[in-house]
Amino acid sequence: MRILVVEDEPTLLAQLAHAITAAGHTVETAADGATARYLGEEENFDAVVLDLGLPVVDGLSVLRHWRAQGRQMPVLILTARSAWHEKVTGMDAGADDYLSKPFHMEELLARLRALLRRLSPHSSAEWQCGSIRLDTRQATVSVDGQPLILTSHEFKILSLLMQRMGEVLSRTELSEHLYPHDSERDSNTIEVFVGRLRKKLPPGSIETVRGLGYRLHPADPAP
């Protein structure tokens, strides 16, 4: 999934980016409210981790602006433990969850997984498509109970296909979830990663919809 992390404290921002990336997501970062507001307007994110005490533009103003623009991605706000009123105001402004500082990174990742499940047909942290099982907590994949070794890009593509199982996803959409917004996005490389995935997954798991993109569905059982 593609996650925007907004935090002005450099050490915490780096820790958040590292932990969320290690969990198998693509992370974009912003250290001030103006940058965050722009990215949230111009880019598509599956979720946002948003600190409220930001320079330039405060987090609540950023959140209100996104919601006024019709941006509906789940938002997890970070607040100081003593600022209980910010939690209430943040939820009223359109936040989906909040976490008080200081916090355990494991709890943040668990809350983030819960927000992402709202976008998914899967009801638990373990997603399944036929014999394919993806554990969002451990960032692992297995087929028929056997561990599957994937590169980070292969894992990210499979995660998005599984999250939106049955939908057709274009190469451009997959590319946007794979690379940061300021990097060169070559949608043609998606064919390479999908080709590698096909060799590792049960035959027929990933369908090519000509002219549109790719779709994941349970493979037909072997006769």
Q: How far apart are CA 10 and CA 59, in angstroms?
A: 16
Q: How far apart are CA 29 and CA 48, in angstroms?
A: 10
Comparing C-alpha atoms, which of 135, 125, 118 is closest to residue 47? Answer: 118
Q: How far apart are CA 180 and CA 186, in angstroms?
A: 12
Q: Rounding to the nearest 10 degrees, give the CA dihedral for residues 26, 176, 181, 91.
A: -60
DSSP secondary-structure letter at 202? P
* Amino acid 223: pLDDT: 38
- Written as one string, the DSSP assignment of 91-118 is HHHT-SEEEEES--HHHHHHHHHHHHHT
Amino acid in the structure at residue 93:
A
DSSP secondary-structure letter at 62? H
Q: How far apart are CA 70 and CA 22, in angstroms?
A: 30
Q: What angle do CA 175, 181, 186 make, to 5 degrees?
A: 35
Q: How far apart are CA 134 and CA 139, in angstroms?
A: 7
* Amino acid 5: pLDDT: 97
- pLDDT tens for the 223 residues of the chain, in order: 889 999 999 999 999 999 999 888 889 999 999 999 999 998 889 899 999 999 999 999 999 999 999 998 999 999 886 667 777 888 888 999 999 988 999 999 999 988 887 766 555 678 888 899 998 888 889 999 999 999 988 998 998 898 888 889 998 888 877 776 655 656 578 888 999 999 999 998 999 998 899 999 876 544 3
* Amino acid 187: pLDDT: 59
Report yes or no: 132 and 217 within 8 Å, Cβ to Cβ: no
* Amino acid 24: pLDDT: 84
Q: How far apart are CA 116 and CA 120, in angstroms?
A: 7
